[in-house]
Amino acid sequence: MADTSIRVGVIGVGNCASALIQGVTYYRERPDITVGLMHATVGRYLAGDLDFVAAFDVDTSKVGLPLEQAIHAGRNCTATIADVPASGTVVSAGVTLDGAGERYQGMVEIIDPAAGGMGSERGRIGRVLRDAQVDVLVNYLPVGSQQATEFYAWCAIDAGCAFVNAIPVSIARTDDWRSRFATAGLPLVGDDIKSQLGATIVHRALVQLITDRGMRLDRTYQLNVGGNMDFYNMLERSRLESKKESKTSAVTSALSHAMDPEDIHVGPSDYVPWLGDHKLAFIRCEATGFGGVPIELELRMDVWDSPNSAGVVMDAVRCAKVAMDQGRGGTLDEVCAWLMKAPPVPMPDPTAQRPDKQVRQAVNPASGLAPPHASARW
């Protein structure tokens, strides 16, 4: 029987990595359960086929720990989904660059900068990835880590890994990086992972509904508060610009008309420590309907933040591996449009999810994406 394991590396062992790693264990131990999965099968790969063989962090409370312990260390506070068995993977020291802001460094003890310079560090991390035979490298750095993300993207190219950029910095949207991964023959998926049922995708659906029903959206906001380190990091407003841009563009792409920037606000709003990994989202839409009559809508969401994105990353990793199996390099535009808030080529969700023949070739010519209610092996 052919080996279907996907060897995965993670950059940043925070709540999101913890939820993903626990989730893989959960579905591996329960192969008949598909509740919570967007797709039971991607190509020939099941949810439990991810194998975490490398991890990097700069938090001294996590570096050097076995991965199954590190996912519960430090400031991690997400839900416990499963007991992760010993993997043999130890968290390696990462590279900081701009990957930890002033507030973050005030809360967490960071490893000392490497004395050997970035060239030496790039070689070191590349060796870790090659020795672990990583197929797909997932970027879970804090919001605002542009330089650090680019550093790890180079490491992925050096080591021959596909790259999934789960955070809102520009990689897949940048022509130079698209070209680099295409030249290397390596898949690239980004930028900024959508949550499975998060504030942005719900907000986008509401805006699309208002537009489709012939109304005009006049004003809207989305306010988010949470208590995890992601929200604490975003108190440093200089690191927040890429996140606001990503979330705003994901919502406004559903509009049929231009809106005054002062009439739309989408973005993280505050840090409330006792919320932990819970995120509260407040969405308001003000629209004009039939005969100029106003319509107002308000919605409140309460979700576990990190598990809400884990299944989407699981799909992104499996799509990247399918593309590798096919020898495809460069950005996977339809995959990015379906799974990411700020894809290089935006398109309506139904187009990205249920593509035509040409797009099916880009994802998997044999099967496409199998939804949970379908046969496990299309």
Least confident of 63-67, 287-291, 369-373: 369-373
pLDDT confidence of residue 240: 67
Q: Give the distance, in angstroms, between the CA of residue 61 and the centroid of all CA atoms in the same chain.
A: 24
Handedness of CA 343, 348, 351, 352 (dihedral sign): positive
Judged against a pLDDT cut of 60, whether residue 115 lies above it is answered with no
Tokens in use for 305? 């933040």
Q: Does residue 214 sit in the same domain as residue 110?
A: no
Over the chain, what is the mean pLDDT?
A: 89
Boundary (domain end) residue, out of 277, 304, 331? 304
Residue 135 lies in a domain: yes
If you average pLDDT over residues 275-302, what whole number do you get?
97
Residue 59 predicted with pLDDT over 90: yes
Task: Tell me which of 304, 336, 360 is where a domain ends.
Answer: 304
190 and 206 co-located in one domain: no
299: domain range?
199-304
pLDDT band of 131, cuts 50, 70, 90: very high
Instruction: Identify the CATH number of the domain in which residue 156 sits.
Output: 3.40.50.720
pLDDT at res. 366 = 37
Residue 35: burial class (beta carbons within 10 Å; 0-12, 13-18, 19+): exposed
The domain that holds 296 is classified in CATH as: 3.30.360.10
What is the reported pLDDT for 377? 27
Give residue 234's pLDDT.
87
Q: What's the pLDDT score for residue 355?
A: 52
- The residues pairing with 90 across neighbouring beta strands, listed in sequence order, are 66
Q: Residue 362 above 80 pLDDT? A: no
Q: What is the 3-state secondary structure (H, E, C) of the chain?
A: CCCCCEEEEEECCCHHHHHHHHHHHHHHHCCCCCCCCCCCEECCEEHHHEEEEEEEECECCCCCCEHHHHCCCCCCCCCCCCCCCCCCCECEECCCCCCCCHHHHHHCCECCCCCCHHHHHHHHHHHHHHHCCCCEEEECCCCCCHHHHHHHHHHHHHHCCEEEECCCCCCCCCHHHHHHHHHHCCEEECCCECCCCCHHHHHHHHHHHHHHCCCEEEEEEEEEEECCHHHHHCCCHHHCHHHHHHHHHHHHCCCCCCCCHHHEEEEEEEECHHHCCEEEEEEEEEEECHHHCEEEEEEEEEEECCHHHHHHHHHHHHHHHHHHHCCCCEECHHHHHHHECCCCCCCCHHHHHCCCHHHHHHHCCCCCEECCCCCCCC
Predicted pLDDT at 357: 39
Residue 88 lies in a domain: yes
| Sign of the CA dihedral with 225 first, then 259, 335, and 45 last | positive
d(CA 338, CA 330): 16
Assess whether 65 and 177 both reside in one domain.
yes
Section 57-86 average pLDDT: 97
Predicted model pTM:
0.90
pLDDT 10s digits, 300-316: 999 999 999 999 999 99
Taken in order 40, 43, 48, 54, the sign of the CA dihedral is negative
Amino acid at 228: N
In a shared domain, residues 327 and 263: no
Residues 36 and 78 in one domain: yes
Nearest to 70 by CA among 90, 50, 51, 53: 90
Are 313 and 364 within one domain? Answer: yes
Asked if residue 164 and residue 176 are part of one domain, the reply reads: yes
Q: Which of 252, 281, 304 is at the close of a domain?
A: 304
Question: Which pair of structure tokens corresponds to residue 328?
Answer: 């495809």
pLDDT score, position 361: 42
Q: Establish if 375 belongs to a structural domain.
A: no
Residues 173 and 259 in one domain: no
Whether 177 maps to a domain, the answer reads yes
State the average pLDDT over residues 196-201: 91
Q: In percent, how much of the chain has pLDDT > 90?
A: 75
Confidence tier at 104 by pLDDT (50, 70, 90)? confident
Whether the pLDDT of residue 183 is over 80: the answer is yes
- Do 289 and 313 have their domain in common? no
d(CA 35, CA 52): 23
Same domain, 297 and 329: no
How far is C-alpha 49 from the geometric centre of its chain's CA atoms?
A: 18
Q: How many domains does the chain have?
A: 2
- Give yes or no: residues 356 and 221 share one domain: no
Residue-wise pLDDT for 133-167, tens only, equals 999 999 999 999 999 999 999 999 999 999 999 99
Which pLDDT score, from 0 to 100, does residue 37 have?
97
Give the per-residue pLDDT at 282.
97
Residues 91 and 175 grouped into a single domain? yes
Q: With beta carbons less than 8 A apart as the criterion, state whether 137 and 129 touch.
A: yes
In a domain, 1, yes or no: no
